[in-house]
Every structure is written in C-alpha cells, then in structure tokens.
A and B are shown apart, each in its own frame.
Chain A
Amino acid sequence: MAGQTLYDKLWSQHLVKERDDGTALIYIDRHMLHEVTSPQAFEGLRLAGRKPWRLDANLATTDHNVPTTLEERAQGNKGIKDPVSLIQVQTLDDNCDEFGITEFGINDPRQGIVHVVGPEQGATLPGMTVVCGDSHTATHGAFGALAHGIGTSEVEHVLATQCLLTQKMKNMQVRVEGDLGVGVTAKDVVLAIIGRIGTAGGTGYAIEFAGSAIQSLSMEGRMTVCNMAIEAGARVGLIAVDDTTIDYVANRPYAPTGEQWQAAVADWRGLVSDADAEFDQVVVLDAAEIEPQVSWGTSPEMVTGIGGEVPDPAEQTDETLRNGYTRALEYMGLAPKQKITDIRLDKVFIGSCTNSRIEDLREAAKVARGKKVADTIKLAMVVPGSGLVKRQAEEEGLDRIFIEAGFEWREPGCSMCLAMNADKLGAGEHCASTSNRNFEGRQGYGGRTHLVSPAMAAAAAIAGHFVDVRTLEEA
C-alpha cells in the first residue's frame, strides 16, 4: 500500500465521521474570526439559541475595516469614520463579549491581519485543523496544518459544532527544485507557480509545496507561498514540518511548554508526506528559471517575469482566454507587447497577509535604504501585518528607513489590499502591490493592481516604474 501524503495524515487525524454519501465531519482545532464574515454567523447562533461548542478554540481580531493612520487609531473604534464599517467592527466586539470569545480589538498591540496574528501568537500549530471565514486561511498550511477558508454558514457551523462538514480533496504536489536566484523571493515563486498552473489549476486539490527551494524558505516565505494557494484555485496549501517550523513556533504565547512541548515536537516530526506517498498530480518547477514576477492583468495567472512584456491577445488561440486577455488589457490600460519595465506607477502598497511580516518589511527596507520615492508616485505606503510586527520593525529602525525614503508608515490592518477602509486606488491608477489579488476594482473602483514582491514594490516606488530589483545597487 502506498504511503500517506501530509494531507492524508492530517485528514485522518481529524476525521470524526464519514458518511455514505461521501461527505465527512472533521474536527476543527482552531477557528479564527474577523469582522466581515462573522456577524451573520453569530446572528444565526442567536436565532437558533445555540452556544459556541468550545470557546478556547476561537480567536478573533478586527482587520479588514480598521483605519491605518495614527490619528484615527488613537481614538480606538471611534476613529473609524465610515459609520457602516464602525458598526461591523463594533458588532464583532459585542459578539465576542456576549459569547466569551477572545478578541484582539483595534488597539490591542496583538491586533493585526488574522493570518499574521494566528501564527505570530502560536495559535496556529503544526498538525492543527485551522479554519476562518477568509480564503487566505491557506496561509496557515505553512506550518503543516490543514487550513482553509470557509463561508459564513460554515463559520456558524464550526462555532456550533466544532466540526466542518466537508469532502476530501485530491492531492497535488508542487515541487520547486534548486536554488532561487539573488533577489528572487517566495512571492515570485508562488506567482510563477500560479502563472504555470492557472487560477483554476488547483481546484479540488490540497497542494503540498515541496522541493529544495521551498525547504530553504523561512516561515515568512512559506506563509507567502501557502497564502496564495487559493489564487491557484486550491483551498489548501501545505508545507511539511521541519526544524524551521519548530524553531518558529517555540516560545510563542499559545505554543505548548515543558513536557507538552516535547511531546508535541515528537508528534510534529511525523507531519511530512511518506516517501512512497502518491499524489494525483505533480508539478515541478526549476527554481533557477524563476525571475522576479509582475502581474499585468486582472487575474493572478496573468503574470510574467520582469524581463517580459504584456502579451498580445491576438496570439491567443483559445477564444475564452483571448477575450479575457483583451478585457484585461483594456481595464489595465496597457498595450500588447508593452514592456513590463515601461509600466508607470501611481501608488505603491507594501502590506497584506501575503507580505506584511517582519521579513517582508526587511526586504523592502533593504531596497529603500538611503533612496527616495520618485516624485511621480502619489502615495507609497507600508502597512505592517500586526501591532507586534510594527513594534519589531520600529525596534530595528525600519520605520525610519521608510519614512526618510518618503513612504508612509501606517498602523496594522488589511488596508489597501481590499480597500474596505479609506486606503484605496483612484480610477485608472496603477499600483505596485504586495497583496494577492489583482481583480477589477479590488483595490478601489477602477484601480489597476500589479502584484509583486516587497523588494520589487520598493524598487518600483523609487524608480516610478517597474525595475528589476536584481540590477539595483545597494546603498
């Protein structure tokens, strides 16, 4: 019999019950909540007279709607100018109070983007099942945890039953072998993967990222890769547990200690796919071939290397694809065959659950050090992923580097990743963004998003257009 994949192991460790009709109940160890996808779930509980099944499995924070300027944040929830956003944030506070759920509210130093907060607190542990009403829950798979996004009905279901009603996915392995070039980061790796398999390539699969290039990544880098599994269509992204994982988790507030730590580590060592495990699909990429990536279109699969150009729709033979390319170019205001380095930018956003951790900020700061943001850039902002990331960055002096270069240094939250607060693009504006989605209108009505790594975003801010970060000299 073939061995088990990591996904198979996590699945069987949490399987409560399988039904004849192919659905299964799996037990949920960690449930993260934020203000956007939870109010209707709590309302549902109330209407049915139900209580959360297990309080200590839940952890909540406000992130999507929170303002990011210091003046606004100094006033707590009252600083939220949009009355509708305020109600939503306040509703999460009230629901957590009423039901007894731990919440990191707007001015808690631990507040931040839910997918930054969980790992940072050690609330995401290897071997857990982790769900959240948010598709980027795939991020937590970097720890060898089975993690995925769910809808609001499922949020209610998990609150009420501690289980998820679901079906087993298929197994895909994406291996990136060899050494990444200098200046090529985890973000470039995952964009290249999406460029290769497409935004629906992983539909129905749990993707395990493996290979020497993935193993060489830090936990921050691994989270960046798993975060965007959903952009390849896969709800789940996974990476096997190794020393890097265990070192990261050690001594975090929610991590086990003493004897339990020893027992946990022994257990976690088994969270790898068996050597003889069989995957339904295997994709292999050569790390050496990956260049820094830039997306040119309105879907994350519309991406190319910095040395590349915008494609010509006329050269596409598939009609649906051709129409998609034509529409994307029109929306993005780009010409066929335009060089990527000729795309001029209006705004730069460094942040989001993909790239707002300490290492991301260090990479961007390295490029920005001693330089100035180009005059043509209307706004360049850095939004740390959590209060703790912000504090650490300030201890390292990164905030000074950014501010001196002309970047705005903001308070933690989702910010311009989806523009539910005041941070947005204007119509027609091009933005170099370290976030994960370049959909039409995602960062503001009519806004034009280009997905890049933090280093590439910083380099673009300084040049005013995209440049190959590998050609820059360090100051």
Chain B
Amino acid sequence: MKKFERTEGLVAPLDRANVDTDLIIPKQFLKSIKRTGFGVNLFDELRYLDEGYPGQDCSNRPLNPDFVLNQPRYQGASVLLARRNFGCGSSREHAPWALEDFGFRAVIAPSFADIFYNNAFKNGILLITLPEETVDRLFKEVEASEGYALDLDLENQRLTTPAGEVIEFEVDPFRKHCLLEGLDDIGITLKDEEAIRAFEAKHRAARPWLFRDSA
C-alpha cells in the first residue's frame, strides 16, 4: 500500500446520497482477476452514455456531459465530496480499487457504509466523515468557485479550505497509522502468530466440532 502523503486536492462534488458500490463499479468489470485498471470504468453508467464492457477501449465512448467528473473544471480531482451512506451495498473491493486507480486519494461524506469503509482504508484511500451541515457547506463552496482544492493533512487530522478555514476530523488511530506508514495488515497480524496459535489450541479443545480434522 502507498503511504498517504499530505496533499492539496481538487474537489469534485457528487451530489447524491446512498451511492452504492454497484454504481461505483458495475458488475461486468468485476470479472477481472487483477487489482488494477478499474479507473476508466469508475461510475461507468453515470460517466458514459453507452453500456460498457470489460476490456474495452474507453477512449472513444460517448461521455455524459452532465456527469460531474466529465466537466472540464473537475479534471484531475483527487478528493470526492459525497452525500450520506456512501459505498453501501456489495462488499466489492473493486470500488476502492476503481476510485484509487482513477486518482482519488480521499472521499468526504457525512457517513459511509461499513464494509466500504474498511476496504477503502486498506487501499490507501482516506475517508473523512464530517457533519451533514459541514458537507453541505462544502458542496456550496465547491460549486461556487472553480479550482476549489482542499489541503489534506492526515497527520494533524485537518482539512484546510482555500479561504484558510481549518476543519478538523476524526480517524481511528490504527487506520491512521497504517495509512501514514503504508503498512500491510497481514504483516502486522503475523507478528501475533503465537497468540493466534495459542487461541486456536484452546478453541479446538473447547469446541472440537469446529475443526473437521479433529472429529
């Protein structure tokens, strides 16, 4: 996983609630057995006017001019501003892979769905939960001024708006640590290998029916 560096990111507003992971990356693209290359199909059904299929060259497909990420002023955006319950539905990790591959480093919303929340952090995407009123205000500011970028400072858990306003946010310490260091969970967990083995032995003794080979 890449380390999360402090950045100034152009903000793109996606003004709808309950954005589900089917919308973020439709199922036909889940057929890939790779982790990369999903960016061109991010929000495929909103972004293009035709139906997409995997492995296609997307450069000639008709774009939906009304979709926010197709508007010239949001080209190069790396922060997505969204509404409540972002990432609901399917557990597909292809959703954060697509966001990351497209170039998003962070998503800001009033709330996120649980599984997506985990998946995003495991792929180096920072999710920032802010009160509904704050998000609402950010939507207005972003729409009002072209080139609106936020300074993302994870270390100090602070966002800074172009006007210099500082917004603090919460993030749990473990996730923050992993993001800042670019750490892989499995490596960390395997440091506890002995504790896992000890637990397993005890568990097997107490409930042998959970282990088919001890029947």
Identify the A interface with B (CB < 8 A). 14, 16-17, 19, 21-23, 25, 27, 29, 36-37, 39-40, 43, 48, 50, 53-54, 56, 64-65, 82, 84-85, 87-88, 91, 125, 127-128, 133-135, 148-154, 156-157, 160-163, 165-167, 199-200, 203-204, 230, 233-235, 254-257, 260-261, 263-264, 267, 299, 320-321, 323-324, 327, 418-420, 437, 439-442, 445-446
Contact = CB atoms under 8 A, between A and B. Distances in A.
Interface residues of B, number: 61
Contact of A440 (B23, B115, B186, B212): B23
B203 A420 contact: no
B114 A260 contact: no
B30 A16 contact: no
Given A125-B210, A157-B189, A324 B18 contact: yes
Given A19-B174, A21-B173, A36 B119 contact: no
Contacts of A420: 27-28, 30-31
Contact of A263 (B84, B92, B209): B209
B45 A162 contact: no
Contacts of A125: 209-210
A264 B53 CA distance: 49
B174 A161 contact: no
B84 A161 contact: no
Contact of B122 (A29, A153, A162, A163): A153
Interface in B73-87: 83-85
28 contacts: A14-B203, A16-B199, A17-B195, A21-B177, A27-B196, A43-B35, A53-B196, A56-B213, A82-B31, A84-B32, A87-B33, A128-B210, A148-B115, A149-B91, A149-B115, A150-B91, A150-B115, A154-B119, A160-B190, A161-B196, A200-B113, A203-B113, A235-B114, A264-B207, A323-B17, A324-B17, A439-B89, A440-B22
List of 9 A-B pairs having minimum Cβ-Cβ separation, nearest first? A256-B209, A39-B33, A151-B119, A151-B93, A149-B91, A135-B91, A152-B93, A200-B85, A21-B174
Nearest to A29: B210
Nearest to A135: B91
A25 B55 contact: no
B209 A16 contact: no
B150 to A, nearest CB: 22
A211 B114 CA distance: 26
B172 interface: yes
A262 to B, nearest CB: 10
A163 B45 contact: no
Contacts of A39: 33
